[in-house]
Chains A and B, each alone.
Chain A
Amino acid sequence: MPLTGTRDLSNILAASAIVPVGKEEHWELPGAQILQLMYEIDDSGMTSLLPPALHPTVPPTVVFTVTRAPESPAGPFVLAQVRVGCRSGARPRGFSAAAYCDSPRATEALRRNWGYPLEVAECSLVKRYDRIDAQVATAAGIVLKLSLMNPEPIGGNDLLYLSTLNVARVERDGIVSGRLVQVDPDYVFRSADRGKPQLEVFDVPAWQLEGARTNWPVSASYAVADVTMPALRYLVDPVKAPLASVERVG
């Protein structure tokens, strides 16, 4: 059977968000800008980046996603994620152990509603006609800097986004337990572009992804979409085997 992850998430879970299940808010994010890059990573990190509930993809990948939401119930924000491509059972997912947001208010709301493992940092997403740039800087310095070069229009239907699995704790009936929280937004695309990926800075410790060495660019896309944040539907127990780990909620 396929390889499975070996990672112990105890340390990350201890400081993770607590999500009261069933109390998430309904969010619409009109006109959100989404920059996404995919890279293959060295196979030395194939299993060590993921918990036992997840399978790595073949080849192993990371997906960089920076979303600028000009409007949200928590005000405008920029959210940056680096996710490890994986499978929850047979389903394609992106595993997220750390993420950053430029708005303290949005950070608190995204942690509480969907378990995003967020810290506040300076995040930017800038669209130009010849390139689209994104950057994340913490007090320690720049931890992510990437670009899509030479954008060319494609159809929104040509894009396929992964659902996210955030490392978090969930609270049900007063009991708190460590889980991966599945976030699978709906997208209605207004426009989309494709281009050449360019990764200048990827500080792996800042993203809790030690061992994720990018070695091959795959793709870069940029889209403007109306995004609907979902109600929670699935949780994953990170320590269980893949086929026994998924829990339906709601």
Chain B
Amino acid sequence: MKFGIFYEISVPRPWENDTEYKVYQNCLEQVRLADELGFDQVWAVEHHFLEEYSHCSAPEVFLTACAAQTKNIRIGRGITVCVPQFNSPIKAAEVAATMDIISGGRLEFGTGRSATWTELGGFSADPDETKKTWDEWTRIIPKMWTEDRFGYEGRAFSMPKRAILPKPYQKPHPPMWVAVTSPGTELDAADRGMGSLGLTFGGFSEQEKKVAEYRRRIKYCTPVGAFVNEAVNSVNFLFCHEDNMYGARTGQRLAGTFNYLAEQLLAARQAYPTRSYPNLGLLPALRREATDSVEGQIPEGLAIGNPDRIVEVIKKWEATGLDRINFLLNAAETVPQAEVLASLRLFAKEVMPKFKDSAATAAATASATAPRTPATAAAGGA
């Protein structure tokens, strides 16, 4: 089991001149600490126009800053929106390769397609098309990275032969992931040999079935990249405190704030009737997890409370077959920065050692001082 942190970068009103600056600085401070503590990865979303909920429209810039200020933590572009109105596949490949170079081979490349009308409508993107363009891009981007000169004639994208530069530092290329919010997308990930970057989580038994099916399917995949990235990543909320009830209350406040902001957004399905978006995406599933519990009890799947409780929760998730969990640490700055940092420290001290991979990572962190070479980066990449 590996642990990471995950950023939407939510910014509470009122928006003063320096509100966004402070939130970004807090996030960077958390990332630096997470790197020192041995967290394995940091992910940042690409969202646009999502007032308060996410002011993270240029994650490549934020993550490059993270890379420049850290030594070992892997950098998760989570995700690149593979919709032509949002991004160009050429530019996406170029930016990712540059990030991989700047980070010394620490990039994890996530892909997805956006799930809100707020964003799709804002870019005048056709909701019916997004799954198709995502699928096409995931096949061509790794070729852009690995072929000296790349040319292509496709359905939604074509280009004459050109050298797409620079090339990624990791060889053959960074690990590729798919953001999973809609039912069945984890199978799309498996069929393409990509990692499943879960952005929702159901109950333990539901997750176990999904992971098992993913692992069964990926054995027979046709990989879009040069290698198979068999890995299942999930997301959770984290607030760790010596006092279990204080930790749980604070964690529930964090989860509640996150989900409350999320519900104000206009999901694609709520605005535009289409088979392309069979559910509401990330938002309701996370809300259910945060709120569905017997009155007075802590929702069973959330990593909130004291270290013993969090160890117990993560052991259950580990038993479902998850490889990694990424934690949301704050929402709209509802948890003071000092408490977020203390929560990270306590988690690293009391929880991480109970999980083999993390302990190994933490030990490695203590001795590691130099950026990874391409060979070591590829070896530990996925």
Q: Which A residues form the contact surface with B (CB < 8 A)? A: 1-3, 38, 40, 55, 57-59, 61, 85, 87, 89-92, 154-155, 157-160, 162, 192, 194, 216, 218-219, 221
Interchain residue pairs A-B with the least CB separation, the first 5: A90-B263, A158-B273, A219-B272, A2-B264, A221-B273
B270 touches A58 (CB 8 A): no
A58 touches B272 (CB 8 A): no
User: Can you report 19 A-B residue pairs in the complex whose CB atoms are below 8 A from each other?
Assistant: A1-B332, A2-B51, A2-B264, A40-B121, A55-B264, A57-B265, A58-B264, A59-B49, A59-B121, A61-B266, A87-B263, A89-B263, A90-B263, A158-B274, A160-B269, A162-B270, A194-B273, A218-B121, A219-B272
A164 to chain B, nearest CB (A): 15
Question: Would A58 and B51 be within 8 Å (CB), given that A216-B121, A218-B121 are in contact?
Answer: yes
A43 to chain B, nearest CB (A): 10
Most buried by B among A85, A87, A91, A219: A219
Once bound together, how far apart are the Cα atoms of A159 and B287, in whole Å? 22
Which A-chain residue is minimally distant from B287 (CB atoms)?
A90
A2 touches B52 (CB 8 A): yes
Does B12 have its Cβ within 8 Å of any Cβ on chain A?
yes
Question: Would A58 and B263 be within 8 Å (CB), given that A1-B13, A1-B332, A38-B271 are in contact?
Answer: no
Within 257-284 of B, Cβ neighbours of A (below 8 Å) are at 259-261, 263-266, 269-275, 278
A96 to chain B, nearest CB (A): 17
Most buried by B among A58, A91, A194: A58
Complex contacts, B49 vs chain A, CB 8 Å: 58-59
Q: Add 20 more A-B contacts to A160-B273, A219-B273 (CB < 8 A).
A: A1-B13, A1-B260, A1-B332, A2-B260, A2-B261, A57-B264, A57-B266, A58-B49, A58-B50, A58-B118, A58-B265, A59-B118, A59-B266, A90-B259, A91-B263, A154-B273, A155-B275, A194-B274, A218-B271, A218-B272
Once bound together, how far apart are the Cα atoms of A218 and B271, in whole Å? 7
Q: Is the interface of A mostly helix, strand, loop or mixed?
A: strand
Once bound together, how far apart are the Cα atoms of A159 and B273, in whole Å? 5
Does B117 have its Cβ within 8 Å of any Cβ on chain A?
yes
B217 to chain A, nearest CB (A): 25
Q: Which B residues form the contact surface with A (CB < 8 A)? A: 12-13, 49-52, 117-118, 121-122, 259-261, 263-266, 269-275, 278, 287, 332
Which A-chain residue is minimally distant from B13 (CB atoms)?
A1
Once bound together, how far apart are the Cα atoms of A159 and B270, in whole Å? 8
Question: Would A58 and B266 be within 8 Å (CB), given that A2-B52, A155-B275, A158-B275 are in contact?
Answer: yes
A193 to chain B, nearest CB (A): 9
Which A-chain residue is minimally distant from B332 (CB atoms)?
A1
Complex contacts, A61 vs chain B, CB 8 Å: 266, 271
Which B-chain residue is minimally distant from A3 (CB atoms)?
B13
A112 to chain B, nearest CB (A): 30
Complex contacts, A90 vs chain B, CB 8 Å: 259-260, 263-264, 287
Which A-chain residue is minimally distant from B275 (CB atoms)?
A158
Once bound together, how far apart are the Cα atoms of A154 and B271, in whole Å? 15
B219 to chain A, nearest CB (A): 32
Once bound together, how far apart are the Cα atoms of A89 and B259, in whole Å? 11
B270 touches A160 (CB 8 A): yes
Once bound together, how far apart are the Cα atoms of A233 and B118, in whole Å? 30
Once bound together, how far apart are the Cα atoms of A219 and B272, in whole Å? 6
Complex contacts, A157 vs chain B, CB 8 Å: 278
Once bound together, how far apart are the Cα atoms of A239 and B21, in whole Å? 35
A223 to chain B, nearest CB (A): 9
